[in-house]
Amino acid sequence: MKKVSVECKNICLSYGNNEVLKDINIRIEPGEFFALLGPSGSGKSTLLRLIAGFNQHNAGQLLLDGSDITHTPPHKRNIGMVFQSYALWPHLSVWDNVAFGLVERKLPSTQIKEKTASALELVGLSQFAKRRPNELSGGQQQRVALARTIVIEPQVLLLDEPLSNLDKKLRIQMRRELLSLQRRLGITTIFVTHDQEEAMTTADRMAVLDHGIVQQIGTPTALFDYPVNRFVANFVGTMNTLEGRVTARDASKVSIYVDAIGELHIPVNGHVPEGDFLAASFRPHTLQIHPADTRQDPNFIWLPGIIEASEFLGEFTRYQITSGNTLITADQTHFSDQQKMKAGQAVTLALTPSQIRLLPATTTRIG
């Protein structure tokens, strides 16, 4: 099957005065696994349903392999969709659920039999063909929904939060199976989720949406390491920020004064926003926690801190630490018999300068 692209060009959608999608520009490459990530109400599911043909945009173009399908009805788009609820026919067997689309298309019975058998084998459910959906586990029902969609050989596969009804262990297993299946089929796939871990572990690239606006598009690594704004930084993982007044800047570094901490000299890593106030931003795992009297290596930026609280999360312990006027999150890898630091303990935080990203500050005046 030919791999196709999907492109949204200046897509806008409103319900009355409520703008749901605002000037959406996304190009999804042929054969790509692409995720739409965002909180509830961000517009991601609306955009997915628009691509499927269930919603109609007010402005812009929707292109499938370069051809505008804006006015093409859903059943003629050759796009398959797996819904969050799976939407299986409860009175039909697994076999009949999977074969349903082929029967509707009036294919010859021999082709229906061959294609249905192949789809069930592809998702590992051949032995469950005679069962009803209520006799299957959640993961098996999801596979039936996938088989029912891929059996019609769509050019694009749409997945609307298909893992949300599964427990954590099964979600991990199923997202791996989803990715493996997508790689075998080579089908252009668009996956909607509010779970950043699901998006980051499956997607080739992803778009982060908020209030109907695309905030950033890129690979999971690029969005995690180089977020363009505070929303992306905090939605794709956890981000600490120290807001400060810019005291100097040149091509290689920016100096900012942080109230109750002092001046920080930060090397330029990527784009540096304009403005008199910036936020020095860094991930919890990039911090090292040391005793308060540790000799300070000049290769690091050092921050004074007081332990406020901690959470043991298995692989690591997450500490909440006050530094100056800011509460900072720091993750420390856990080893057996390791002593947890106590609330009120004075510490020093070491931060590698290259791990800091400078983002726009939320304030215009500090101190």
pLDDT in tens, 174-196: 889 889 989 999 999 999 999 99
Task: Look at residue 44 in the predicted model and tell me its pLDDT.
Answer: 96
Domain that holds residue 202: 6-226
Q: Is 329 domain-assigned? A: yes
Locate all alpha helices (DSSP H) within the chain, ordered by sequence: 44-52, 94-104, 109-122, 138-150, 168-185, 196-202, 220-225, 230-235
| One domain for residues 210 and 302 | no
Domain count, the chain: 2
Which of the residue ranges 27-41, 61-75, 85-99 would you say has the lowest mean pLDDT?
Answer: 85-99
Q: Same domain for 146 and 37?
A: yes
Where residue 3 falls among pLDDT bands split at 50, 70, 90? very high
* Boundary of a domain, candidates 205, 226, 247: 226
Q: Is 15 inside any structural domain?
A: yes
Mean pLDDT of 262-291: 93
Do 62 and 165 fall within a single domain?
yes
CA distance 38 to 223: 13
Q: Which of 39-43, 134-138, 162-166, 255-259 has the lowest mean pLDDT?
A: 162-166
Structural contact between residues 232 and 241, judged by C-beta atoms closer than 8 angstroms: no
Of the listed ranges 200-204, 215-219, 265-269, 318-322, the one predicted with least confidence: 265-269
Which of 226, 257, 290 is the C-terminal boundary of a domain? 226
The stretch 54-61 carries a mean pLDDT of: 95
Same domain, 314 and 354: yes
What gap in Å lies between CA 129 and CA 315, rounded to an integer?
A: 41
Would you state the structure tokens that stand for residue 291, as one six-digit string? 């005793």
- pLDDT of 366 higher than 50: no
- Mean pLDDT value across the chain: 92
Phi-psi region of 297 (alpha: psi -120 to 50; beta: other; left: phi over 0): beta
Among 32-36, 103-107, 245-249, 279-283, which stretch is predicted with the lowest mean pLDDT?
103-107
Q: What is the CATH number of the domain that holds 10?
A: 3.40.50.300
Whole-number Cα distances in Å, 165 to 49, 96, 189, 223, 358: 19, 23, 20, 27, 38
Q: How far apart are CA 347 and CA 196, in angstroms?
A: 31
**274 occurs within a structural domain:** yes
Instruction: List Cβ neighbours of 23 (8 Å cut-off, separation of 6 or more).
Output: 10, 11, 12, 60, 213
Domain end among 178, 196, 226? 226
- Of the chain, the percentage scoring pLDDT greater than 90 comes to 79
What would the pLDDT profile of 320-347 be if each residue is shown by its tens digit?
A: 999 999 999 999 999 998 889 999 999 9
- Tell me, yes or no, whether 365 lies in a domain: no
**Does 275 lie in the same domain as 219?**
no
Same domain, 128 and 263: no
Residues 182 and 289 reside in one and the same domain:
no
Q: What is the pTM of this model?
A: 0.90
Same domain, 50 and 136: yes
Residue 185, in any domain of the structure: yes
Domain assignment present for residue 305? The answer is: yes
Asked whether residue 181 is assigned to any structural domain, the reply reads yes
Residue with tokens 């003629």: 76
Q: Summarize pLDDT for 66-79 with one digit per residue, the tens.
A: 999 999 999 899 99
Residue 246 inside a domain? The answer is: yes
pLDDT beyond 90 at 170: no
For residue 269, pLDDT beyond 90 = no
Q: What is the pLDDT of residue 363?
A: 55
* CATH number of the domain enclosing 334: 2.40.50.140
Mark whether 23 and 135 lie in a shared domain: yes
Least confident of 20-29, 128-137, 264-273: 264-273
Same domain (yes/no): 132, 246: no
42 with 164, same domain?
Answer: yes
Structure tokens that stand for 72 in this block: 């093409």
> Does the pLDDT of residue 162 top 50, yes or no?
yes
Specify whether 47 is located in the same domain as 188. yes
